[in-house]
Structure 1
Amino acid sequence: MSCEVSPIVLSQLVDLYYRVLALPSLAPSPKVNQTFSELVSLCLQIKVPSNHLTYHLDEICKKDNNNFNIFSLITRAMEAEGYMERYWAGILATADNLQTAMRLFWYWDNYATLTKYELESLKAAGCSTFRRVAFVGSGPLPLTAILIAQEIKSHVVLYDRDAEANELAIAWVKKLPWGKEQFSFRDADVWDVAPDEFMQYDIVWIAASVGANGKEKSGVIKHVRKGMRPGAFLAIRSVEMGCSLLYPEVQHSELGDVDIVRHDDPPQGVVNSVIVLRV
């Protein structure tokens, strides 16, 4: 694999980095939407390891007497996503035709492709039982959980430490024909949940936005895994290559002594990859 990045692409990334940091507000607006659309599009094009990419970006920023801070960029990207999800949760809560409104969401096709890819990876890993599913870090717009429930007809428990995010999600999820039966919500920071609570699940999803960095995310994974029953599965959302500028990347070395059964490349145009662990 080549570790070279086009100077033009690097220059565009640095420009976007400064533009993202300079945004006075991250709430959805034409300027915010355009800036992050450009950033995501560019990140998806970059196929070099994240450490090489950040090295090159840091070298360019040093010429401007600055340092490239990937943590600041990821934090801003995840904050902007949070604002966007709240905005769309409000739209869905008041929609006359909820299922039509869901498909109008800007990234609906991306979510649908990502969920299909994750379910295929799980089945290839030997995960064929989906009676009870948990999603950690579900947020106000848990579209993955909706798509999972549609596909596998399982009960899904949604964990989020932000009670307001859960309230926003409940306001529209419970309007779905199957919403009241298939979904439960837990207002809880995963660190405050006893590990043995996770023993009831056949599979636990860990959202891309859980953890400020790979090390913190691996801590959450170890906490959850500690209580899961043998043979159950963890689906961990990570990122590869250029998309490491958008979410924390999980390195295999950070996971410790675990049984990694799948780690497939994401489909074309999809930001997140999935790492599948067997407990």
Structure 2
Amino acid sequence: MVHQQLLPMDSHLSTNGGVLCQHVIKPHQHKHSPGLSSASQDLIHEIVAIYKELSCLPSLEPGATTNKLFSRLVGICIKQYKAETVCDVLDHPQILQLIKHLRNICSTGEYLLECQWSQKIIQDAYSYTENQPELLKNFVYYDNYHDLTKLELHAMLGCGVVPRTVVFVGSGPMPLSSILLADMCSDTTIIRNLDIDKDAIDIASELVSVIGKEKRIQNFLCDGMEYTGFGQADVIFLAALVGCDHQQKMQLLKRIYDQCKPGTAVMVRSAHSLRALLYPVIEPEDLVKCGFLVDIELHPHNQVVNSVILARRA
């Protein structure tokens, strides 16, 4: 699971009084509802239970309980299900009621996880005189990032897109996607990471520096809606959690389209199946509405959580 940008928490998920549990889902009796299969009902029950436990934790910082709950949730989301089961779950009133809040919880949890790991890698890097980049491989989700970045790069190269100058919107405190892209593609000369969170940019900048990537990767404290450099990019990445809702994502995509030059590629991270519990969904037709021409959409069925859509400005 890959986190890119911290979303603002709703008031019912605030940490006032040290308790996150303010939003209440009505008590759910574990009975099979008419019209739902037992498999669908069991999934709904487990998702609601995990949500309740996560929302009532005093903190979402990494720890034994937090890690276990997030691992259970991700494990549920990346399994393959029948289409009718996915519809049953995502359309169920209880899931519709909690899905926005669950995504916010996951976003915050991932942000804190990335902060912790980035700071650990930075500290470790100062203790070693060589092989600092190898320390990144200790990150618990390194393989997921690696596989997602490889998927995106192969998609681009397969469609004739060479990522020379890149802008990554919503890079977070551990810009591992940018680091891996720089490693995998020698044609990539500069990657400009954007994030609206100052702490994320400060941590990311130090991380990039200690592993010796500061000449190719730059980090900027900036809202994507205010950035004016999209016209200089060959490829623009849009992180899965950029924008609090579908409308904001569409506004940003339209702004990118208006600024970028013809032929510029956009790589948009989305989600499919029950992965939509973790990340908002963007469809190819959404990019078409903004004026882009869609080249390819890929839905991983392994441990990689994000789907990807590659499109280009006409």
TM-score (structure 1 length as normaliser): 0.89
Report whether the alignment pairs 1:40 with 2:66.
no
Within-5 A mapping of 1:95-244: 95=124, 96-97=127-128, 98-127=132-161, 129-153=162-186, 154=188, 155-177=190-212, 179-194=213-228, 197-244=229-276
Question: What amino acid does structure 2 have at the position aligned with 1:107?
Answer: Y
Question: What amino acid does structure 2 have at the position aligned with 1:168?
Answer: I
Query: For 1:117-163, what per-residue CA distance to the aligned partner results, in whole angstroms no more than 9, with x for missing partners?
Result: 11111122221x22211111011100000000001132111111112
Query: For 1:71-124, what per-residue CA distance to the aligned partner results, in whole angstroms no more than 9, with x for missing partners?
Result: 101011101111111111110111135323211111001111111111111122
What is the CA distance between 1:251 and its match in structure 2? Answer: 2.5
* Farther-moved stretch of structure 1 (30-39 vs 43-52): 43-52
Match of 2:13 in 1: none
In 1, distance between residues paired with 2:107 and 2:247? 17
* Farther-moved stretch of structure 1 (253-262 vs 162-171): 253-262
Asked if structure 2 preserves the Cα contact closer than 8 Å seen for 1:86 and 1:168, the reply is: yes
Q: Sequence identity, in percent?
A: 29
Report whether the alignment pairs 1:53 with 2:85.
no
* Unaligned residue ranges in structure 2 (runs of 5+): 1-35
Query: For 1:34-69, what per-residue CA distance to the aligned partner results, in whole angstroms no more than 9, with x for missing partners?
Result: 11010001111153486542223x2xx49xxxx732
Report whether the alignment pairs 1:83 with 2:112.
yes
What is the CA distance between 1:26 and its match in structure 2? Answer: 0.7
Matched residue count: 266
2:64 aligned to 22, 30, 49, which one? 30
More helix by share: 1
What is the CA distance between 1:218 and its match in structure 2? Answer: 2.0
Query: For 1:145-190, what per-residue CA distance to the aligned partner results, in whole angstroms no more than 9, with x for missing partners?
Result: 000000113211111111221110111111123x121111211111
Secondary structure at 2:253 match in 1: helix
Secondary structure at 2:309 match in 1: strand
* Unaligned residue ranges in structure 1 (runs of 5+): none
What is the CA distance between 1:268 and its match in structure 2? Answer: 1.0
In 1, distance between residues paired with 2:40 and 2:230? 45
TM-score (structure 2 length as normaliser): 0.80
Match of 2:293 in 1: 259
What is the CA distance between 1:21 and its match in structure 2? Answer: 1.8
Asked if structure 2 preserves the Cα contact closer than 8 Å seen for 1:215 and 1:254, the reply is: no
In 1, distance between residues paired with 2:146 and 2:45? 32
In 1, distance between residues paired with 2:111 and 2:69? 16
Runs ≥4 residues deviating over 6 A: none
